[in-house]
Every structure is written in structure tokens, then in C-alpha cells.
Structure 1
Amino acid sequence: MAGFFDTLRGDGLTRAQRALVGLEGDPLRLEHERQQFSHSPPPYTSNASGTTTRSASPNPPSEEQRLRQERRIQLGQDAEASKPHEQFSALIEAERRRIFIASLNGTRRLRVGDDPDKMAAEIVDT
């Protein structure tokens, strides 16, 4: 890396300026140089056979495999939801919603400084 910076500080900058001046004086060459950057590179080949490194797309899962995977996900979610902490959190969330709805429809007004989250946790905890 140090060599790069040495070249830039030394005659590298001078050479770059000369090359730019040369391109500025030759519009056809400048256009030719620019065009090389407007084309996409060819696909990478891993060996002389010319085969690309792109892998074939996997076959989509069958309907049975998809249903089995969905069932596995649902069972995992059910198992997680059955944990006491998750049940407690779900109850607090339901109570918090009930408190907000009661406040909106006027059956129970929240006072300034009331914390609905704390109120919900206290109601569920008792």
C-alpha cells in the first residue's frame, strides 16, 4: 500500500495529468476509453470449460413439504407462547389494550401521570 502512495506523491500524479491531457486532445480516443466502462463484464468462468459458477436454482418444495414446514413453524411458535414469561407478557398486553380502549370510550379515564403499562402489569400480577 505504501508503494501506491509513494507513486501518487512522486511522478504518479504527473503521469496521470499527462494522460488526461492526451485524452482531452483526442476526442475519439476519449470516447473509446469511456465505452469500455459502459459494457457489463462477461460472467465469471471457473475453468477453461467455460461453465459459469452460477448454481442451478433448487426445486421448490412440494405441497407436502411446505405444509410440513408450516406445521413445524406453528408448533415452535406454540411452544414459545406456552412459556410462563410469554403468557404473562400476553396477558399484560391484553390488559394494556383493555385500559386504552376503556380510556377512549370513556368507561375509565386515565389521569395525568398514569402509566398504562404499569397499571396493566399490576392488574395481571394480582
Structure 2
Amino acid sequence: RHVSGQQNVVADMMSRIEAITSETTFQSINYDDLATDQATDEELQSYLNGQVKHSLKLISYALPSSTKKVYYDISTDRIRPFINKRFRQAVLRTIHNISHPGSRTTSKMMSERFTWPEIHRDSHN
């Protein structure tokens, strides 16, 4: 069945994965390590196997030049990597250190680029 243009989010994401990865990459995040952690992360697995209700639409895609896969949320118009607990503080620190924005701006900047449960709560703490 043919799915056209904007409706074909997965194909669009796959064609732009390298740009997406570089756009959201910060020195504090190693996507290769993130992919390794995601493979065994209990929180992510509970989302993937339906144990936890959520509004995320998670798909995995292989990193450029790798066989490892990272899970991304494609439920909004922005494709955002799912960040495991191990990497969340580094993401928070990196976003905050860009320009030392207030908590509301930090929360907005993070949720535009990444996703995880309670991302807004974490950005205000």
C-alpha cells in the first residue's frame, strides 16, 4: 500500500537519520553507547512491550556506519531519541550549559530534541 509524502513518517525519518543524529548530538552523548544501553534498558523495554501506557511512537533505526540501533519517538513532527536514565543528567547539563536558560526554556529545549518519561519534571529539578 502506497503512503504518500508527509504521511510516510518512517520513510522520511530513515532518509534523514544521519542529519537527525548530527543535529541532536552533543559531546556528552555517545549514540553508540546509548544504543547498547537501550538494548537492555528495562524502562524502554516496558514501553516497547506494552507494560506501560504511553503516547510515544517508538521505532528503532541503525546508526550510520553501525549495526546498533537507537530508538526514536516519531509521535510528533520532530524525531527525538529516547534517552535512557544513564544519559539524562548529561543531556540536562549540556542543554543547561548552552546558555544557562531558565527551567522553562531548558524543558522546552530538551523536549524538542529528546524524549524520556518525566522529561519536564526532570528539567525543573
TM over 0.5: no
Structure holding more helix per residue: 1
Instruction: Looking at secondary structure, tell me which structure has more strand per residue.
Output: 2
TM-score, normalised by the number of residues in structure 2: 0.21
Q: Larger C-alpha radius of gyration, 1 or 2? A: 1
Query: Looking at both structures, which has the greater relative contact order when contacts are Cα pairs under 8 Å and sequence separation is at least 6?
Result: 2
Q: Normalised by the size of structure 1, how large is the TM-score?
A: 0.21
